[in-house]
Amino acid sequence: MYSNNRTFDEECDFITQISPFKYEIAEEFVPNMQSKAIFYVNALLKDLLFDELRTYSSHNNKGGGFLPAVKQLGNVASLPGIVKVM
């Protein structure tokens, strides 16, 4: 499992809001990402999503198996066979 010691703000540097509900995760977010990752989220879920990333980052990424949704998206984009975002 991938781990690093980035702060929440450093993690957020890889995430760009494209529109009110659309976000993009840069390819450098996790190792071996084959493409950027795109996700859509409403305001309520956005707060939850970024809160879990903040919690993960504040515990030096030692969540006891817990991996935030945005990290899971990055991991999916690093799977063999992924070539581009649709």
Question: Which of 22, 37, 25 minimizes the C-alpha distance to 82?
Answer: 37
For the entire predicted model, the pTM comes to: 0.85
| Predicted pLDDT of residue 83 | 77
59 secondary structure, DSSP code = T
Convert 4-16 to b/e letters by CB count within 10 Å (16 or more is b): eeeeeeebeebbe
> What is the per-residue pLDDT across 29-65, written as a single tens digit (0 to 9) for each?
999 999 999 999 999 999 999 999 999 888 765 555 6
Q: Are the C-beta atoms of residues 70 and 49 closer than 8 Å to each other?
A: yes
Residue-range domain boundaries for the chain: 8-76
